[in-house]
Chain A
């Protein structure tokens, strides 16, 4: 490539000053950018309007394209299923027979559960659905694991609300625009979910690592409660996530830590359901002065 001879502005004062001012602006811009990064650390919700405005603009396009992508993705699996139909049919019949028996047992248990809860006068705070929507895009270029859903504050979505699919927990809402919202996926390294083992109920934490692998840590000291194939569900501790939503399957155990993967794959989830966040604590009683 030819040497750029144009970097020296020659003897024109105006051109020299112009070049100099350009550099001053660039350096000032770097300083301003660093200040923005600092502000984001101490006030993560800052400039939400600006950022979610951009998201609102791109979300409809992503939403339209997502339908096409999903139909292509499902076309592949339908073709495979066609060639394997006989085997699949047999396997499904067996499974159906097994699950019928399990269903009867489960109904009985549900009845008993209800009766016991009435006996214990336990008040159930079943989470209300805010919006059923779709995941339309994700931050495939960045380090954070964020995704965009197709509903925003116009549909009642607020920051902090948990998001689940039919299979399990997906993440929670961090910022909302008018018609789109950004959710932090389980796999984001900033995400920690209090869970308990479905077998035995030992408490643990699920921590995202930025990739599809989730870290699991036991809260109780001593031997590891994890076993390969264990399923963990949200415990409801802390009040962000409602209890009982499936979160992850343990795939590898090493010491008192374990690795797992999320049960709900956001790439394949048909719907993402935004749930109401846990009810706020009642206001403190008003201090009345005794007469």
Chain B
């Protein structure tokens, strides 16, 4: 697996090997349709969390441009201004590509830290975009959501790892 070119997976893999990462990320975004009426942003951005976890777990399955359709799906499903997750997630993926060339060995704690930084960037970026579009309150509103999402990172990483094992099973 390790010696493959980026973005290429051997053609012998079953279709689910390609579908599972994308489908699980979009399912994370679709959790925004949960029948929950909240008066503050309380749910972690699951679509973003899944995308970041997949990208850190398996750097070879997606190229950077894959963040564009995933971000668009996230924007459509969560009702965010169109383009916000597209921009923020793609920037994250590009930075991860640079980071992969610099940082040679990563362990779980570093992955967690990196995801936390990416989440802070994405949530504050989404807040800034909403504010630019004429809405959005004070930035303090996203702090509880950010803390909650950071504590959700191990969960999504484990979920991705479990899905990854199932995805590649023969």
Chain A residues engaging chain B, CB cutoff 8 angstroms:
1-7, 9-10, 12, 15, 18-19, 22-23, 25-27, 29-30, 32-37, 40-41, 44, 47, 50-51, 54-55, 58-59, 61-66, 68-69, 135-147, 182, 185, 187-190, 208-212, 265-267
Contact B45 A26 (CB under 8 A): no
What distance in Å separates the Cβ of B55 from its nearest Cβ neighbour in chain A? 11
Contact A25 B33 (CB under 8 A): no
Q: Which residues of B contact A2 (CB under 8 A)?
A: 2, 105
Contact A142 B130 (CB under 8 A): yes
> Could you give, for residues 121-144 of chain B, a 1 whenever the CB lies within 8 Å of some chain A CB and a 0 otherwise?
000001101111111111001100
Q: Which residues of B contact A66 (CB under 8 A)?
A: 35
Q: Which residues of A contact B59 (CB under 8 A)?
A: 4, 6-7
Which residue, of A4, A50, A209, has the highest number of chain B Cβ atoms within 10 A?
A: A4
What would be 6 A-B contacts, judged by CB atoms less than 8 Å apart? A5-B2, A7-B97, A18-B5, A59-B33, A62-B34, A209-B137
Query: B80 within 8 Å of A by Cβ?
Result: yes
What distance in Å separates the Cβ of B129 from its nearest Cβ neighbour in chain A? 6
Contact B37 A135 (CB under 8 A): yes
Contact A1 B105 (CB under 8 A): yes
Contact B7 A208 (CB under 8 A): no
Residue of A nearest to B81 (CB): A40
Contact A188 B105 (CB under 8 A): no
> Could you give, for residues 1-44 of chain B, a 1 whenever the CB lies within 8 Å of some chain A CB and a 0 otherwise?
01111110000000000000000000000111111111111111
Q: Which residues of A contact B81 (CB under 8 A)?
A: 36-37, 40
Contact B79 A55 (CB under 8 A): yes
CB < 8 Å neighbour of A4 from B38, B77, B100, B134: B100
> Could you give, for residues 58-89 of chain B, a 1 whenever the CB lies within 8 Å of some chain A CB and a 0 otherwise?
01100111011001000011111111101100
Q: Which residues of A contact B7 (CB under 8 A)?
A: 18-19, 22
Residue of A nearest to B106 (CB): A1
CB < 8 Å neighbour of A1 from B42, B107, B130: B107
Residue of A nearest to B134 (CB): A190
CB < 8 Å neighbour of A58 from B33, B71, B129, B138: B33
What distance in Å separates the Cβ of A44 from its nearest Cβ neighbour in chain B? 7
CB < 8 Å neighbour of A147 from B3, B37, B90, B104: B37
Taken together as a complex, chains A and B put the C-alpha atoms of A190 and B106 apart, in Å, by: 43
Q: Which residues of B contact A187 (CB under 8 A)?
A: 39
Task: Say whether, besides A26-B68, A189-B137, A19 and B77 are in contact (CB < 8 Å).
Answer: no
Which residue, of B32, B59, B71, B78, has the highest number of chain A Cβ atoms within 10 A?
A: B32
Contact B127 A51 (CB under 8 A): no
CB < 8 Å neighbour of B83 from A22, A37, A44, A267: A37
Q: Which residues of A contact B54 (CB under 8 A)?
A: none
Contact B40 A210 (CB under 8 A): yes
Contact B82 A140 (CB under 8 A): no
Q: Which residues of A contact B130 (CB under 8 A)?
A: 142-144
Q: Which residues of B contact A9 (CB under 8 A)?
A: 5-6
Contact B79 A182 (CB under 8 A): yes
Query: B94 within 8 Å of A by Cβ?
Result: yes
Taken together as a complex, chains A and B put the C-alpha atoms of A68 and B36 apart, in Å, by: 11
Contact B76 A51 (CB under 8 A): yes
Which residue, of A3, A9, A50, has the highest number of chain B Cβ atoms within 10 A?
A: A3
Task: Say whether, besides A1-B105, A41-B132, A182-B79, A143 and B127 are in contact (CB < 8 Å).
Answer: yes
Q: Which residues of A contact B84 (CB under 8 A)?
A: 33, 37
What distance in Å separates the Cβ of B98 from its nearest Cβ neighbour in chain A? 10
Contact B64 A142 (CB under 8 A): no
What distance in Å separates the Cβ of B103 from its nearest Cβ neighbour in chain A? 9
Task: Say whether, besides A6-B5, A30-B87, A37-B83, A61 and B36 are in contact (CB < 8 Å).
Answer: no
